[in-house]
Amino acid sequence: MRISKEWHDRLHILIPYYRRVLKLSQNDVYRRHGNYKWIISPATVKKLENHEQVFIKDEKYQELLFNLNEQLHISQKIDHYLITQSKQLYCVMETERYEEAIRIIETTLLSLKSQRHHVYYKECIFFLGKLFLYLKDRIFMNDQEYSLLFPLVNIFPKGFKDILMDFLYIHASGANEKKLSAFFSSYSMEASAYLPNRINYANQLYEENKELRAYLILKEAEPVAREKGSKNQLAYIYIILSSIALHIDIELCYSYLHMLEKMLTEEHEDNNLKGMILLNLANRYLMLRNYVRCSNYTKAYIVLNPKRHYTSNIILLSYCNQMLNKEKDKTLFVNDNLTSEYDDQLEYSLFSYYKQTFKNNKERMKFLQDKVCPNLTAFDKIYTRIVSDEITRLSSESGSYVNYFRFHALLKNENILK
């Protein structure tokens, strides 16, 4: 059986991948059972395991896969079919025709059913199955599924590859700084023409303080999103642009916020889109110190999602009440279903700060310094603003600015502030 270069490249990823997933030693995979001779040379093994360019004879793959208990069945017909399906899925995903995307995935999964035990095709089934659950029932992949899909990006046709990169980014950006950093160190979205990936790349540039490059990419993507009717992507564009403008031109920032507010008035059934816009409007108005609007949009989000009681919403409302000199609203903390949107120690400690009753400002300041500040990172712009304002307020009321200067020294040393 002659193996194409495309399949060579695919197997060079999958063989070390299977070994790691199965937790087998290199001897278990790369030596012949019985006489213990190398199937491929140790130098070739090293290159293969380090994802370097390597040449392996076609007949060697079957031996290696046999040791992994994997079956190789290459079908040009199926390969061409998957390329066609990946192109179709790319187009409908980019234009946010999700019902059509679900139908394409269902058809593809049905066609691959007979290949569910074969190398590569079973990975296609795994990826498309997870994407199907996300699109149909909003079921996100878990950490284990993410770790299984993460190394596989480059085995797929271009359409699937671009979609998977965005799918992985959604998980990584909602997890933690370490996971997101690992994602960007492994995969570059710069070369991807897929609209969500262009916007994800712009967001990465913004987080790296490369605002001008991010701005240019987003302004280029804006008319594309409009033309394609990609409302979610258009909202993402305005959200990032408003963040960039916040530090440069307040009036421009307000203009992007007004565009987001206009999108809220348009008729559409996507509550996830509405919720995303509401939360980001709340966050942006917090940074603009418009506490009334921040509070109103946070409350609107809670009304839209009555079963999603996130501590982050309660933190924002408590902070706004504090800044507006309103009394503490104890009813915010009585719901037993309150959960953190992410497994976030900072969010938990800040929520505890607003929930607890302190004897005096000295106790409040100590809690912030000991429990909250150590958890701040450069990614926590909203919570950094909240903590900064709380420490400023407490310092002003006490007349002692020791903790205020200590806090700002922390921000500078930890590179938290831009």
- pLDDT above 80 (res 1): no
How high is the pLDDT of residue 414?
Answer: 64
Above pLDDT 90, what percent of the chain?
73
Concatenated DSSP letters of 6-72: HHHHHHHHHHHHHHHHHT--HHHHHB-TTT--BSS-HHHHHHHHTT------HHHHHHHHHHTT-B-
How high is the pLDDT of residue 356?
Answer: 87
- Rounded to whole angstroms, the Cα distance separating 311 from 318 reads 10
pLDDT confidence bin for 336, thresholds 50/70/90? low
Mean pLDDT of the chain: 91
The pair of three-digit structure tokens given for residue 403, joined into one six-digit string: 């903790």
- Rounded to whole angstroms, the Cα distance separating 132 from 91 reads 16
pLDDT confidence bin for 184, thresholds 50/70/90? confident
pLDDT by residue (tens digit) across 205-231?
998 889 999 999 999 999 999 999 999
Report the half-sphere exposure of 289 (CA within 13 A, side-chain side): 5
Contacts of 171 (CB under 8 A, 6+ apart): 140, 141, 146, 179
* Bigger pLDDT: 413 vs 157: 157
Contact present, 94 and 228 (Cβ < 8 Å): yes
Contacts of 167 (CB under 8 A, 6+ apart): 130, 131, 134, 141, 149
**One-letter amino acid for residue 53 of the chain:** Q
pLDDT by residue (tens digit) across 294-311?
999 999 999 988 766 678
> In this structure, what DSSP letter does residue 310 have?
B
How high is the pLDDT of residue 385?
Answer: 94
How high is the pLDDT of residue 276?
Answer: 93
